[in-house]
Chain A
């Protein structure tokens, strides 16, 4: 093994038990490090970054690794900086409905704590027990409830970042409305750790829903025109669905046992308002459609299942076949078209494909399983379809070796030089997550 970092250097700045030399074989998802460090304080993050800067070392940042297969053209950096031991709540004033939390805090831990106060963070990421709040924000991950509550850019009100030179830069603040200076929060959300290490996050909270239910509408196979018509009618109404997620037949089968296109429509409000909206959905549903209403705990149980279906970079893969996930963004209702195309790829490419997408926000997640070559070819095909719709496709989970063979982010935008300029200003030595992001930033 090539020893790129001197262990004695690191032991002089960190306690021995917070340093681990990677002994296992190379990780199939890449994005590793020869040495893993587990800072427990912000000062420790600062000294690690300073060390890297002084010695021209590269760092990969990781929370708990659920997104290890997301981007990145390096198998290993010099140092893998894990924030898994940098967790906990820093400040929570219940009446202000804001919370400050360390970046390595697992999402579920945070939600469980907040639930005691009848509050929550209104995001719904995959793998909530492992995914850290820092990773969710850094990768700008959102789930079906984005329709009702928005994404990270709508809930993050402040960040405390450790810049590559070790300095602490705060953006935003602790208040819900703030236009002092540039809205630098936005720069770090979704930046894939390529600018700075997230230390603390300040989030705007919402009250827990007083009541919720999930309406599942299963559509006879293939009748996507009926899906579209139903969705536009619901969107035209004054109802306030929190999700309007279309599931492909294969995904629906795993969750409901029925291999048909299914719409998952969540309502969260006071009980009377939820029931009123369920009735409305019933009144506009086409005759041949089957409708199931899952109240409260059953709705939660459905979503709990839903959130752990996607590949998880932190779990050892048990599949002999290759698994990939792509995120697709299109104009809202084009989701129907994208999911239909994905469904067709199953036969043409001999793959198992499960997908879902939000008709009110335009984002799809599609998971493909099968032979590597077929997956790469399906991704290329899907990207062509999506780009014709003026959308984009990002590969959010794929083994490292295959990431060399496909463009993870697609074509960089025409103004790429601005993105590169920002990277160069903030991280001139390209210490952090080098080549992890669009255009090799």
Chain B
């Protein structure tokens, strides 16, 4: 962290250091480079400084200082966000919450746990699994992403088909407001406290309404039984139809994931291959959990559905080790694209499930038109697509082309009544695409709410909403470049 002695003439750096201590601040350019972007690496901006508060009081004092002195600031967790929500586009003071990483309490009787924002997602499940409990939201980055970041982004994951996303599991929050005030909402898990649902509003607000410093989450008892099925299809549309048929059969799978041929090529070339055949067009990874006495019936129904949809091969995981291999292969899918392409861009559109075949066709078309390969790894059960646009940033123009192709994929989702992001957030990446789904009045209705919490707009400004100045022509230009 910070070096010995501050060696700076900047009075703000000095004053911020007084709050957190000299060793808990970074301000030299070479140290700041690690904070110039998050998981969205296309745009980079240097922060003014990075501070590492150890508790809520320090966060509040930092916020107070920034707000009194007109310094833009933002909060950051592990920096795994995929839409640029933690990128300091205005040279912000970055308030890193990684030192606030304690599991504060677990109340098994009432099924809740209290964590600090820097606590890593998977650590929670690991800390309570011996008692048979787990924390449901499971973004692919769960081994390193923080629960504070999950709250900001309203993170999802493979198992939210049955169990819901982060917002469905947050029971209470302690928040430092942009004016430095500390508030407690949600009453530690007593539901429906009187007043507008600020808990629901702040969750997923991408760090623009306040800084979350303590989180009460719901924990769940492990399901009694769990079965995982892997199905290979020669035809993408057979796979898509199988997805709909499973849901129509009245089954609520815990997870229902799909990968197409390009994605399979990637995961098989990367660190966790499982030996998927290379000549299939699609695979489904299906998990059912619940009461043991009911699982076999559901599995046999799923196998029937797959057979009716011309499945080439379908198998049930024989043990936990096999199941874990299949999931590791899936969960590291994005990074695996690095094995077959120098760069890739992940998109995050959502569509009504019934439109899956036509949207996959449209994404194919976009790939052909742009000349870039697009792999699809996605949460098929809830219609959450992740087109991965493969490109080479060293080739001039390809980055822009990839951005435009990604945007075109989102337009395709919006065109069928879907949305532009299911779990990654808008950040800076999809600001303009907000216009695909919302009118100016609707965007204004949202910024009106931001103004109540964050009137000076010093906290994480420039995120989530399209800048009023960026007009249609710019977008058109980008699009034309893609075609």
Chain A positions within 8 Å of B, measured between CB atoms, are 93-98, 118, 140, 142, 150-151, 153-154, 163, 167-171, 173-187, 189-191, 195, 206-208, 210, 232, 235-240, 269-270, 272-273, 275-277, 327, 329-333, 360-363, 390-392, 394, 409-410, 412-416, 418-419, 421-422, 425-426, 437-439
- Known A-B contacts A153-B197, A270-B297, A419-B195; the reply to A180 vs B437 at CB < 8 A is yes
* 22 intermolecular pairs with C-beta atoms under 8 Å apart: A97-B353, A98-B352, A150-B168, A153-B168, A170-B438, A174-B418, A176-B350, A177-B165, A177-B350, A177-B382, A182-B450, A187-B201, A236-B221, A238-B223, A240-B291, A273-B290, A331-B189, A333-B109, A412-B194, A413-B183, A419-B198, A437-B194
- Bound-complex Cα distance A181 to B132 (A): 36
| B192 x A181 contact (CB < 8 A) | no
Chain B positions within 8 Å of A, measured between CB atoms, are 108-111, 132, 153-154, 156, 160, 164-165, 167-168, 177, 181, 183-185, 187-201, 203-205, 221-224, 244, 247-248, 250-252, 290-294, 297-298, 350-354, 379, 382-384, 417-426, 430, 434, 437-438, 441-443, 445-446, 448-453, 464-465
- Bound-complex Cα distance A119 to B183 (A): 40
**Chain A residues with CB under 8 A of B194:** 392, 394, 409-410, 412-413, 437-438
**Chain B residues with CB under 8 A of A412:** 194-195
| B438 x A269 contact (CB < 8 A) | no
- Bound-complex Cα distance A163 to B446 (A): 13
Contact of B190 among A235, A269, A362 (CB under 8 A): A362
- Bound-complex Cα distance A98 to B164 (A): 15
Which 5 A-B pairs rank lowest in CB-CB distance, beginning with the nearest?
A: A186-B200, A273-B294, A207-B250, A276-B293, A238-B224
**Chain B residues with CB under 8 A of A275:** 293
| B198 x A425 contact (CB < 8 A) | no
| A97 x B247 contact (CB < 8 A) | yes
- Bound-complex Cα distance A362 to B171 (A): 12
Contact of A331 among B164, B190, B423 (CB under 8 A): B190
| B383 x A177 contact (CB < 8 A) | yes
- Bound-complex Cα distance A291 to B213 (A): 46
A184, A190, A418, most chain B CB atoms within 10 A: A418
| A169 x B200 contact (CB < 8 A) | no
**Chain A residues with CB under 8 A of B221:** 235-238
| A118 x B193 contact (CB < 8 A) | no
**Chain A residues with CB under 8 A of B298:** 270
Contact of B291 among A98, A174, A276 (CB under 8 A): A276
Q: How far is the CB of B38 from chain A (nearest CB, A)?
A: 16
- Known A-B contacts A183-B203, A332-B111; the reply to A361 vs B191 at CB < 8 A is yes
| B379 x A235 contact (CB < 8 A) | no
- Bound-complex Cα distance A72 to B156 (A): 38
Closest to A181 in B: B446
| A422 x B196 contact (CB < 8 A) | yes
Q: How far is the CB of A269 from chain B (nearest CB, A)?
A: 5
**Chain A residues with CB under 8 A of B222:** 238
- Bound-complex Cα distance A189 to B201 (A): 11
- Bound-complex Cα distance A390 to B425 (A): 34
| A179 x B200 contact (CB < 8 A) | no
| B422 x A179 contact (CB < 8 A) | yes
Q: How far is the CB of B219 from chain A (nearest CB, A)?
A: 12
**Chain B residues with CB under 8 A of A174:** 352, 417-418
**Chain B residues with CB under 8 A of A206:** 252
Q: How far is the CB of B385 from chain A (nearest CB, A)?
A: 10
| B191 x A151 contact (CB < 8 A) | yes
- Bound-complex Cα distance A272 to B291 (A): 9
- Known A-B contacts A272-B294, A272-B297; the reply to A425 vs B190 at CB < 8 A is no
**Chain B residues with CB under 8 A of A409:** 194
| B442 x A170 contact (CB < 8 A) | yes
Q: How far is the CB of B440 from chain A (nearest CB, A)?
A: 10
Contact of A329 among B190, B196, B294 (CB under 8 A): B190
Q: How far is the CB of B18 from chain A (nearest CB, A)?
A: 28
**Chain B residues with CB under 8 A of A208:** 250
| A179 x B424 contact (CB < 8 A) | yes
| B200 x A189 contact (CB < 8 A) | yes
- Bound-complex Cα distance A185 to B196 (A): 11
Q: How far is the CB of A32 from chain B (nearest CB, A)?
A: 23
Contact of A173 among B168, B437, B464 (CB under 8 A): B437
Q: How far is the CB of B173 from chain A (nearest CB, A)?
A: 11
**Chain A residues with CB under 8 A of B434:** 180-181
**Chain A residues with CB under 8 A of B442:** 169-171, 181
**Chain B residues with CB under 8 A of A195:** 196
- Known A-B contacts A150-B168, A392-B187; the reply to A177 vs B384 at CB < 8 A is yes
**Chain A residues with CB under 8 A of B452:** 418, 421-422, 425
- Bound-complex Cα distance A279 to B423 (A): 40
- Bound-complex Cα distance A437 to B111 (A): 30
| B449 x A183 contact (CB < 8 A) | no
| B291 x A239 contact (CB < 8 A) | yes
Given contacts A180-B438, A236-B221, A240-B291, 16 further A-B contacts (CB under 8 A): A93-B352, A93-B354, A95-B354, A96-B354, A167-B441, A175-B418, A179-B422, A181-B446, A182-B449, A187-B449, A238-B221, A238-B291, A276-B294, A329-B191, A390-B187, A419-B198
- Known A-B contacts A95-B244, A331-B189; the reply to A175 vs B291 at CB < 8 A is no
Q: How far is the CB of B174 from chain A (nearest CB, A)?
A: 12
Q: How far is the CB of A384 from chain B (nearest CB, A)?
A: 16
Closest to B190 in A: A329
- Bound-complex Cα distance A186 to B384 (A): 21
- Bound-complex Cα distance A191 to B195 (A): 7
| A184 x B204 contact (CB < 8 A) | no
- Bound-complex Cα distance A362 to B164 (A): 20
Q: How far is the CB of B370 from chain A (nearest CB, A)?
A: 23
**Chain A residues with CB under 8 A of B351:** 175
